[in-house]
Structure 1
Amino acid sequence: MAPQSVEPGRTPLPRGIAAPARRALAHAGVETLEQVMALGRLALSRMHGICPRTLAQLEDALDERGLELPAG
C-alpha cells in the first residue's frame, strides 16, 4: 500500500502514541509533526504524559520524513 500524501505542514502524529501523551499534545494544541518540531525535545520532555517511549516514537516518525526534533 502506498503512503498517503499529506499537505506540507499537516503531517499527522503517528499512530500508536499512548493516550496520556495524545491528551497532553492535544491540550497543548499539537496536531502535527511540524508542531512537534516547533516545541522541541526539551519542551516535550517536560510535558506531563510524554515519556521516553513517546519521544522515540515522535523522533522515528520525524526521521521517516527527513525531519529532526530540535533539542530546545
Structure 2
Amino acid sequence: MKQAHKTAPGVFIPENIGKPALRALHGEGYQTLHDISRVSAAELLELHGVGPKAIRLLEAALAEQGLSFAEEEEEE
C-alpha cells in the first residue's frame, strides 16, 4: 500500500530522467527527491542537461513521495 504524504528523504532521483540530467543534478549536489523538492522547476531548467522531459519525470516521482518542487520566488 502506497503512503502518499510520507516524505522519504532517502529516495534517490530516478535514473529514467536521462544521463545528462542526472549528471547536472548530481553536479549541483542533488542526490535525492527530498533535495529536489527544495528547488523550483525553473531553477532546475537552468541547468545544462535538464529539460522539460526531466522536469515532468521528476514531478511525477516527487508526487509519488508526496513531494513537489519549491515555489518560484517572484523577482522585485
> How would you bin the TM-score normalised by the shorter chain?
0.7 to 0.9
| 1:1-44 superposed Cα distances (whole Å, 9 cap, x missing partner) | x88xxx93111111312111011011101100011111221210
Equivalent residue number for residue 70 of structure 2: 70
| Alpha-carbon distance in 2 for matches of 1:58, 1:45 | 12
| Alpha-carbon distance in 2 for matches of 1:12, 1:53 | 18
Question: Once the 2 structures are TM-superposed, how far is the Cα of residue 45 of structure 1 from its aligned partner?
Answer: 1.0
Identity among equivalent positions (%) equals 31
Instruction: Give structure 1 stretches of 5+ with no counterpart.
Output: none
Equivalent residue number for residue 47 of structure 2: 47
Equivalent residue number for residue 10 of structure 2: 10
* Greater than 3 Å deviation, 4+ residue runs: none
Whose RCO is larger (CA < 8 A, sep 6+)? 2
What's the C-alpha RMSD, in Å, of the aligned pairs?
2.0
| Alpha-carbon distance in 2 for matches of 1:61, 1:8 | 11
| Alpha-carbon distance in 2 for matches of 1:12, 1:44 | 16
Which structure has the larger Rg?
2
Question: Once the 2 structures are TM-superposed, how far is the Cα of residue 70 of structure 1 from its aligned partner?
Answer: 2.2
Equivalences, count = 68
Q: What is the SS of the residue equivalent to 2:39? A: helix
